[in-house]
Structure 1
Amino acid sequence: MAAATTLLAGAALSGCGAADMTRQSSPYANAQGAKTVTLSVQSWVGARANAAVAQYLLEHELGYRVDTVQVDEVPAWDALSQGRVDAILEDWGHPDQEKRYVTDKKTVTDGGALGVTGHIGWWVPKYFADAHPDVLDWKNLNKYAAQLRTPESGGKGQLLDGSPSYVTNDKALVKNLGLDYQVVFAGSEAAQITQIKQFAKDKRPFLTYWYEPQWLFNEVPMAEVKLPDHTDACDKKGTDDPSSIDCAYPTTPLKKFLNAGFTREGGKAARFLKNFHWTKADQNEVAQMIAEEKLPAEKAAERWVKEHPDTWKAWLPA
């Protein structure tokens, strides 16, 4: 997912970002006169939950044909600007992209708040924090490095990250804070969840990069390690030189963005997506059905829609 500070050169935030996936875009995107919508979907399950519910309602309530395309965070902005996709439903804060496409080029418009606040941080399991409360201050992490060592961390404590395509600040933080830790990538959000659940099952300590909203907190309670306070000065320093980051991740109100042409000509679909606004609990409910109950995204969306009509009916345009 994406981290707003380094800008995410791609959630490029925590998020995602290396390969340019824009050529996977749908042929239906920006199709003149057709009732079609193409949604960009990031790889983490919360983003899939947004898209699943939006797709279900666009198709079943408004009569649109919807296509979804998985595009990494920064390339998604290019695709959105070019009309290859019509909407991004969960952006974790890319001020450089926003300035380029919304403010300067005016090819993308602000679609409003998603209703969910995103936060990235370092977390340990609650059972470990309860036994060792001082681990929740980063200044004490080196004290626990030996207990957090794994075969993959090369004699240092392990800081577990997800996909290497996510742009995180973790390597810079470990270096700049003088921590005896090694960042180890699980490979994907799903692989990271599998490792966290195995650690929890065995009641082993772990330190992991993680984020809210995320349904896994319902299953594996975790406590956040306090990093140095996030400041505007740290933000600016990180924008100029991501390797200099030495403060906590920001808290980011997640936003939606639409292609400017789609905003003007997308009719009820564009108005619906601007109205789409739900809570962390709503997103986690759908995400857990997809990730934990293994429901197809459409079935998870259908169940949520049937159980929450008072929420989504307010999104439908008049």
Structure 2
Amino acid sequence: MKNQQSADRKNAGSGGARRLTRAASAAVVVLGLTGVSACGAADTGSSSSKGASGKVTIAVPSWVGAEANGAVAKYILENELDTKAELKQLDESVAFDALHSGKVDAIMEDWGGAPKKVQLYVEENKSVVEGGDLGVVGHIGWFVPKYLADRHPDITDWKNLNKYKDLFKTAESGDKGQLLEGSPSYTTNDDAIIKNLDLEYKTVYAGSEAAQITQIRENYKAKKPFISYWWTPQWLNADIDLVEVKLPEHKEGCDADPEKVDCAYPETPLQKYFNADFAEKGGDAAKFLKNFKWTAEEQNEVAAMIAGEKMSSEAAAEKWVKANKDVWEKWLP
């Protein structure tokens, strides 16, 4: 929806970027997905060895950008490659377990939030393989609305945040400023950053991406002050104007110890991962998913239809695919 980094994250791409994890229960991610819990994942049939005529199972985390990936991939698999596809909502760590066991075949958007699983399954067991870049670069940070930054230009420097804490106080944050968070399942460095930078703030969780968006929209409409953990790409950014607060510059290793993080989140090229057997034996389906690469703008277009226009993920995917043959035709084997 989304990075989320910590010592647990793996360097990926430019600037040692890592990926975070947004994971398990955004209300936005409902249509077109088969919900599976950590326990339920073990009950699904293995699909890793099936070729282009078999079923392909894709793990989808709980933010709408990832749902857009899955929906478009599913539509093209079924309508262009005659391959049945299933989408399963799984958080990042569980998804890697399912990839390893063959319960799912692919993760289309990984933010680097499960580096220990990557080390175990990709580097050591070789049961999971890299699937290449998704084509989207993710970034997490702290954001305030532009109308607030216009009134208080120095609020976008973390060194001045304590001066403005009273603007962000809520019943949940007490005498501290509230830093709005999304789902408790998302991996963040925010508590460590607050502690290590001596900021008088408290993280308060909305509960899901959808609930966080609702709160942001309500505050934005009322022109209320707020500061929120937020990320790009995100379809809502086309509708509201947010400004990032400058945290201390991210440098290699500054978030290696999750207890000592005192820096900004890096830029993170989003990655795909496949079950190793599927990558080898999945035929045209595997080749297609490896070739699947689009821009943040294209992902946001589908995500906005799902979350903003309340279309089903299937309908949004169909509409986008029919209008963008010149883009996805290049992904076909």
User: Does 2:56 match 1:37?
Assistant: yes
Q: Which segment is superposed worse, 145-154 or 252-261?
A: 145-154
| Paired position in structure 2 for 1:100 | 120
User: Which 4+ residue blocks in structure 1 deviate beyond 6 angstroms?
Assistant: none
Is the contact between residue 37 and residue 86 of structure 1 (CA under 8 Å) also seen in structure 2?
yes
Q: Shift in Å at residue 153 of structure 1?
A: 1.1
Q: Summarize deviations over 1:200-250 as a string: whole Å, max 9, x none.
A: 0000110000001101111111000010111113132x2xxx121111111
| Paired position in structure 1 for 2:73 | 54
Q: Summarize deviations over 1:102-147 as a string: whole Å, max 9, x none.
A: 1211111110000000100000001111111111110000111001
Counterpart CA distance in 2 for 1:17 and 1:291 is: 16
Counterpart CA distance in 1 for 2:65 and 2:289 is: 16
User: Does 2:21 match 1:20?
Assistant: no
Counterpart CA distance in 2 for 1:66 and 1:298 is: 12
| Paired position in structure 2 for 1:259 | 275
Counterpart CA distance in 2 for 1:103 and 1:228 is: 32
Query: Residue 164 of structure 1 aligns to which amino acid in structure 2?
Result: P
TM-score after normalising by structure 1: 0.93
| Paired position in structure 2 for 1:316 | 332
User: Does 2:240 match 1:220?
Assistant: yes
Q: Summarize deviations over 1:140-165 as a string: whole Å, max 9, x none.
A: 00111001111221121110000111
User: Does 2:188 match 1:168?
Assistant: yes
Aligned partner (choices 80, 84, 88) of residue 65 of structure 1: 84
User: Does 2:97 match 1:78?
Assistant: yes
Number of residues paired by the alignment? 312
Counterpart CA distance in 2 for 1:235 and 1:59 is: 41
Aligned partner (choices 307, 310, 316) of residue 323 of structure 2: 307
Query: Residue 45 of structure 2 aligns to which amino acid in structure 1?
Result: P
Q: Summarize deviations over 1:11-58 as a string: whole Å, max 9, x none.
A: 992322697356266426326465110000000000000000000000
Aligned partner (choices 261, 272, 277) of residue 293 of structure 2: 277
Q: Secondary structure at the match of 2:168?
A: coil
Query: Structure 1 vs Structure 2: percent identity of aligned residues?
Result: 54
Is the contact between residue 2 and residue 16 of structure 1 (CA under 8 Å) also seen in structure 2?
no
Aligned partner (choices 112, 117, 139) of residue 119 of structure 1: 139
User: Does 2:7 match 1:6?
Assistant: yes
Is the contact between residue 7 and residue 95 of structure 1 (CA under 8 Å) also seen in structure 2?
yes
TM-score after normalising by structure 2: 0.89
Q: Shift in Å at residue 4 of structure 1?
A: 3.1
Alignment of 1:166-245 (within 5 A): 166-236=186-256, 238=257, 242-245=258-261
Q: Secondary structure at the match of 2:330?
A: helix
Q: Shift in Å at residue 5 of structure 1?
A: 2.9
Q: Which segment is superposed worse, 94-103 or 252-261?
A: 94-103
Counterpart CA distance in 2 for 1:162 and 1:32 is: 37
Counterpart CA distance in 2 for 1:29 and 1:155 is: 52
